[in-house]
């Protein structure tokens, strides 16, 4: 074990063919310091150098081509920044121009007249003459380019390129390292898994990910290393979840009489099947005697808040208190106002604590909390203050949990020093299943995947700028029916670089199209102070303004049932999940609601896919899956999510099936052997023990 760790911890300074200067540059530019770092710096693509083309076979549609021939001559053309070096390269079938715009003096010194070369690059045609700009060149006289194969291409920085530390040098260093490392690379997966999924061995996988013998070997190497990476990713998350359940006790909430009284006698509508299923999952957690850590995913308007209230009733019915924490005062007020009639009907004391709560009211709240007379407290970050003390906090509900940091959530835990409260975190941001498994693999996940009965799907259309008068006419029609309208812009002020509608310009054009006193127009953006935003939003909620011109600050959670139209300007500027969140601001009432996405004509294929998806479906989880395909998991997850961003090969957008197989394997192994003590699991235990304790990715070479 020590010997392995010592070998892969060896500095790159000691690798044949690198030397001090190159080792230092790899460290500074690519964070590659050791043998272990370099061997896991995987190529991002591969050039197929197994085929040679003649000049007569070249086509402009080729992404790249490799040609063998002679460099007849070269000369320079142009002046200043337009100066270029042009070489004449021939084979038996024709002539090709080789062109360089940079490092001309250095390249010229390396060229040999009548030298036999292999050139590689993207062929371009001009007036029937083919050229390759900045080609890769191997001089056959010096032994270059002898091996025709799949050649790895590594990501580089501009500084490395300027210093002539290119992909070939890295590939050569990796080959030297692989030859030395071969006896040190140990198998890291049990034989049973290798046989079950027909995986290649670790040594063969590491070799062929860098220097594949052919396309088939490359695929096998990628498949093996992706499985291993996701296997150890899931092992870490699920082990943490099991550890949490073992370490932290939770209060048992067995008595359901209070909940049943509400459900049978006071609930004015019928719960959906999905809501009922989630309530059963939460109740099952409350019976275990272990702390609940559950993520509740539900699309906008799916009824998460009422499920949260019923969970609170289970806690209160068993002598505990509950709190609901929201990221903004508007959201906290919304929860409070929505739940107050239910709490009053039940004879329960429901309070609210935000930055706006006055001192006199705070004193009363604090006293009632400590005495156990306050049953549910709704609030913002104010709930985290040290002065807020409960008699017996049993349940914490955190809305839009991604808005709160780990330290803030931990503060809520400490509000009960005897037994940590149960935790229910809620999000209206649909997360694809594969991403949820890696972001929230240490939480139990519940999903409300249907809307309440009678809720009408939002009608969504895509309109071009030329349809603006038609859209204004439709807005007037809706306003005359007594409805309200959101108009959302991507920017606050006009950008010289981006030709998109901006908020200030939009506000002025709205005032011209919808003049006072017939129409009142509000404005909301992120540069406003908190109280200004609250005032504007309250005016809209109270129907004092008819049109709300805003940026994305209205994206999450705000409930205005009378707002039935959402117009999104420059919709091409927004991400798919953001468009879906914005659309969710309407459709909160019984009336038919509409979302109109406005764009110019110049749209990329990805943007068209995005807009077509919005028009086609209201299903947030289907939208999230498309978003993952378009953007990749890194963009969606954010760099703070360790366990996702440390994936080196696996792509959650494409490797869902591999992730499922890896997770199922982990669950089966841990169910039989949670401590990994059985002989057949020794190889897993050794791998986990051998990597650094600070390393999130347990699949890394140690």
Q: What is the pLDDT of residues 169-214, one digit of tens each?
A: 999 999 999 999 999 999 999 999 999 999 999 999 999 999 998 8
Residue 632, Cβ density class (10 Å: 0-12 exposed, 13-18 middle, ≥19 buried): middle
The per-residue pLDDT for 637 is: 47
The per-residue pLDDT for 492 is: 59
The per-residue pLDDT for 552 is: 78
| pLDDT tens-place string over residues 337-377 | 889 999 999 999 999 999 888 999 999 999 999 999 999 99
Domain presence at residue 642: no
pLDDT of 641 strictly over 50: no
Q: What is the CATH number of the domain that holds 483?
A: 3.40.50.300
DSSP string covering 598-666: EE-S---HHHHHHHHHHHH---HHHHHHHHHHHHHHHHHH-TT-TTTTT-SS--TTT-HHHHHHHHHHH
The per-residue pLDDT for 643 is: 44
Start-to-end C-alpha separation, the chain: 9
- Please name every residue paired with 45 in a beta bridge, in sequence order, or none if there are none: 153
Is 404 found in the same domain as 356?
yes
The per-residue pLDDT for 501 is: 59
CA distance 574 to 10: 46
Helical segments of 73-214, H only: 104-110, 158-162, 167-181, 191-196, 202-210
Q: What is the CATH number of the domain that holds 62?
A: 2.40.50.140
Domain span at residue 21?
2-45+177-184
Is 239 found in the same domain as 274?
no
Is 309 found in the same domain as 235?
no
Is 401 found in the same domain as 270?
yes
Is 140 found in the same domain as 58?
yes
CA distance 161 to 163: 5
CA distance 74 to 97: 9
Q: Which of 448, 468, 491 is the last residue of a domain?
A: 448
pLDDT band at 543 (very low <50, low <70, confident <90, very high): very high
Q: Which of 184, 204, 228 is the last residue of a domain?
A: 184
The per-residue pLDDT for 2 is: 46
| pLDDT tens-place string over residues 548-607 | 998 877 655 567 888 999 999 999 988 888 898 889 888 877 789 999 999 998 898 899
| pLDDT tens-place string over residues 480-534 | 999 999 999 887 555 555 555 578 888 888 999 999 889 999 988 877 887 788 7
- Please name every residue paired with 99 in a beta bridge, in sequence order, or none if there are none: 86, 133
Q: Are strands 293-298 and 444-448 parallel, antiparallel or unpaired?
A: parallel
The per-residue pLDDT for 54 is: 94
Is 585 found in the same domain as 488?
yes
Window from 158-167, 280-289, 669-678 with minimum mean pLDDT = 158-167
Domain presence at residue 701: no
CA distance 282 to 291: 11
Domain presence at residue 167: no
In three-state secondary structure terms, 414 is coil
| pLDDT tens-place string over residues 253-270 | 999 999 999 999 998 888
Q: What is the CA radius of gyration of the chain?
A: 31
Domain presence at residue 69: yes
Is 476 found in the same domain as 605?
yes
Window from 29-38, 278-287, 385-394, 571-580 with minimum mean pLDDT = 571-580
pLDDT of 403 strictly over 60: no
CA distance 530 to 551: 15
Is 408 found in the same domain as 514?
no
What is the distance, to the nearest Å, from the Cα of residue 586 to the centroid of all Cα atoms in its chain? 25
Taking CA atoms, 40 is separated from 34, 229, 405, 442, 683, in Å, by: 10, 12, 31, 26, 20
pLDDT of 331 strictly over 70: yes
The per-residue pLDDT for 145 is: 57
The per-residue pLDDT for 407 is: 66
Residue 126: both structure tokens together? 């001009």
* Mean per-residue pLDDT of the chain: 87
Is 387 found in the same domain as 470?
no
Is 510 found in the same domain as 443?
no
What is the distance, to the nearest Å, from the Cα of residue 179 to the centroid of all Cα atoms in its chain? 37
DSSP secondary structure letter of residue 271: P
CA distance 149 to 46: 10
Domain presence at residue 629: no
How many distinct structural domains can be found in the chain? 5
Domain presence at residue 587: yes
CA distance 468 to 648: 46
Q: Which of 448, 467, 499 is the last residue of a domain?
A: 448
Domain presence at residue 90: yes
Contacts 24+ apart (CB under 8 A), 508-515: 510/547, 510/549, 513/472, 514/472, 514/475, 514/476, 514/479, 514/546, 514/547
Is 306 found in the same domain as 198?
no
Domain presence at residue 639: no
The beta strand positions in 473-582, using DSSP E, are 484-488, 521-524, 547-550, 563-568
Is 236 found in the same domain as 217?
yes
């Amino acid at each position: 074990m020590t010997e392995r760790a010592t070998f892969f911890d060896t500095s790159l300074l000691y690798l044949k063919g690198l030397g001090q200067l190159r080792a230092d540059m790899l460290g500074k530019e690519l964070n590659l310091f050791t043998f272990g770092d370099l061997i896991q710096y995987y190529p991002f693509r591969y050039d197929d150098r197994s085929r040679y083309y003649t000049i007569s076979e070249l086509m402009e549609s080729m992404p790249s081509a490799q040609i063998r021939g002679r460099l007849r001559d070269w000369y320079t053309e142009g002046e200043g920044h337009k100066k270029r070096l042009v070489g004449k390269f021939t084979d038996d079938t024709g002539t090709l121009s080789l062109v360089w715009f940079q490092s001309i003096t250095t390249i010229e010194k390396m060229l040999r007249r009548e030298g036999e070369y292999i050139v590689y690059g993207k062929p371009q045609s001009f007036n029937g003459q083919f050229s390759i700009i900045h080609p890769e060149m191997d001089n056959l006289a010096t032994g270059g380019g002898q091996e025709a194969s799949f050649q790895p291409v590594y990501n580089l920085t501009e500084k490395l390129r300027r210093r002539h530390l290119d992909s070939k040098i890295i590939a050569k260093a990796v080959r030297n390292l692989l030859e030395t490392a071969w006896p040190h690379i140990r198998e890291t997966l049990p034989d049973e898994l290798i046989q079950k999924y027909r995986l290649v061995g670790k040594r063969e996988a590491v070799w062929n990910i860098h220097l594949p013998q052919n396309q088939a070997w490359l695929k096998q190497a990628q498949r093996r290393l992706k499985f291993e990476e996701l296997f150890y990713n899931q092992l870490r998350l699920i082990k943490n979840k099991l550890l949490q359940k073992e370490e932290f006790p939770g209060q048992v909430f067995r008595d359901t009489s209070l909940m049943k009284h509400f459900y049978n006698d006071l609930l004015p509508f019928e719960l959906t099947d999905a809501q009922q299923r989630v309530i059963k999952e939460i109740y099952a957690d409350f019976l275990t005697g272990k702390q609940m850590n559950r993520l509740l995913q539900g699309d906008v308007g799916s009824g998460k808040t009422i499920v949260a209230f019923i969970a609170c009733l289970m806690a209160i019915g068993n002598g505990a208190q509950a709190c609901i924490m929201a990221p903004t005062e508007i959201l906290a007020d919304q929860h409070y106002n929505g739940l107050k009639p239910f709490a009053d009907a039940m004879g329960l004391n429901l309070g609210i604590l935000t930055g706006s709560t006055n001192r006199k009211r705070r004193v009363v709240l604090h006293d009632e909390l400590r005495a156990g007379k306050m049953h549910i407290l709704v609030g913002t970050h104010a709930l985290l203050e040290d002065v807020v003390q409960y008699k017996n906090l049993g349940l914490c509900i955190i809305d839009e949990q991604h808005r709160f940091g780990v330290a803030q959530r931990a503060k809520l835990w400490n509000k009960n020093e005897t037994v940590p409260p149960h935790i229910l975190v809620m999000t209206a941001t649909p997360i694809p299943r594969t991403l949820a498994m890696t972001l929230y693999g240490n939480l139990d996940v519940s999903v409300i995947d249907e809307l309440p009965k009678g809720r009408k799907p939002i009608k969504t259309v895509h309109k071009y700028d030329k349809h603006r008068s038609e859209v204004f006419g439709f807005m007037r029609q809706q306003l005359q029916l007594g409805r309200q309208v959101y108009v959302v812009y991507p920017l606050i002020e006009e950008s010289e670089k981006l030709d998109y509608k901006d908020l200030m310009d939009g506000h002025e054009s709205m005032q011209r199209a919808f003049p006072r006193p017939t129409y009142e127009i509000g404005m909301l953006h992120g540069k406003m102070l908190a109280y200004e935003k609250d005032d504007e939003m309250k005016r809209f909620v109270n129907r004092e303004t008819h049109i709300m011109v805003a940026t994305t600050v209205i994206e999450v959670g705000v409930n205005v049932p009378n707002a039935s139209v959402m117009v999104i300007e420059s919709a091409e500027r927004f991400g798919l999940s953001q468009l879906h969140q914005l659309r969710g601001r309407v459709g909160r009432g019984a009336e038919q609601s509409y979302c109109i996405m406005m764009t110019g004509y110049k749209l990329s294929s990805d943007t068209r896919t995005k807009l077509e998806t919005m028009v086609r479906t209201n299903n947030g989880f289907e939208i999230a899956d498309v978003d993952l395909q378009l953007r990749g998991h890194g963009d969606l997850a954010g760099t703070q999510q360790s366990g996702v961003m440390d994936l080196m090969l696996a792509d959650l957008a494409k490797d869902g099936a591999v992730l499922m197989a890896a997770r199922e394997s982990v669950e089966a192994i841990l169910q039989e052997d949670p401590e990994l003590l059985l002989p057949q699991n020794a190889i897993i235990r050794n791998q986990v023990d051998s990597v650094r304790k600070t390393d999130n990715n347990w699949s890394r070479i140690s």
